[in-house]
Amino acid sequence: MIVLTGGAGFIGSCFLRRLNDAGIRDVLVVDRLGKSPKWRNLVHKQFRDLIDPATFLTKLQQGEYGNSIEVIVHLGARTDTTEQDVQFLVENNFSYSCALLEYAHRMNVRFIYASSAATYGRGEQGFAEEDWSNREPLNAYAFSKYLFDFWVYQHHYFQSSTVGLIFFNVYGPNEYHKGAMASMVFKAFQQLRTTGVVRLFKSYHPAYADGEQKRDFVYVKDVVEVLWRMLKHPEISGLYNVGTGVARSWNDVVRSVATVLGVEPRIEYVDMPEEWREQYQYFTQADLRRLQQTPAMVAFQTLEVGVEDYVRNYLMSRQRYW
């Protein structure tokens, strides 16, 4: 059995699709649905059961699953970069993750989990995965993910069957429930269709013009392919960046979406909330040298190719979900 936490979420539900496409249905989805519309991500997907995270952890620690779990793919987390309740984030993103990994290590269960490029902060010291001096979390969410990465490193779990994947800016189908945390690709599509103008934050850094702040935008289909290859190669362990390795600007994102829609890429630059300005990342770009040395490396799609597939085959389609 595969345990998939966050299985109703954005990346999790896309990975569940990848598993189903490979004929794998013995998947225990661990997620909290609440009032979120993310339940739609599970429609037409096949899995063993759906259970909330707290109940799952209790059953796990009580030994109810015996030796039935082969691998835990831990994608569940609170991902709101504006969340101010640090204790809440630490409990959800750090303490819960520690409990799962301790169980996995004790039971010799492979453990694959999601980290975030937010842990690099400004990235002024580069984006090498295991150079801990380059980590500079700028918000509470990034801090909670950094805590777990470093805890795994300190306990030498990366030397066993544990894999951490540092996701950069992921976009693609099934992200519709994320609200303010949805990708700029999705937001640009909505704004161009409704108002014809996309709103981007002004730059407050002298090295970057408005809209020329750069991120590494990676298509979710490529992300789940890396996850799939990690699953199929249990000999791989360690911490790996997952991005295209090419930084692109927010203006590039808007132009890419506008090209698919056949409209002018009209952009309005607006003030960034003052409380966000000190924690804003102006540049991220995955260093892929470690991933390239593994069989999990994929040929990442360019921004233009990924955006065209997403917009044309999902956002403009009646079948929006993957």
Task: Give the active site residues.
Answer: 141, 178
Q: Nearest-CA neighbor of 232 among 148, 163, 153?
A: 163
* Distance between CA atoms of residues 50 and 4, nearest Å: 10
Query: Which residue in 195, 206, 303, 291 sits closest to 250, CA to CA?
Result: 303
Cα–Cα dist 195/266, whole Å = 10
Angstrom distance (rounded) from CA 92 to CA 309: 33
SS3 category, 206: coil
Q: Is the dihedral of CA 242, 245, 247, 252 positive or negative?
A: negative
* Cα gap 298→296, rounded to integer Å: 6
User: Count of alpha carbons within 13 Å of 153, Cβ hemisphere only?
Assistant: 14
* Residue type at position 269: Y
Q: Which residues contact 199 (CB under 8 A, 6 or more apart)?
A: 191, 267, 268, 269, 270
**Amino acid symbol at 145:** K
Residue 158 zone, left/alpha/beta (φ > 0; ψ -120 to 50; rest): alpha
Q: How far apart are alpha carbons 50 and 145 in whole angstroms?
A: 25
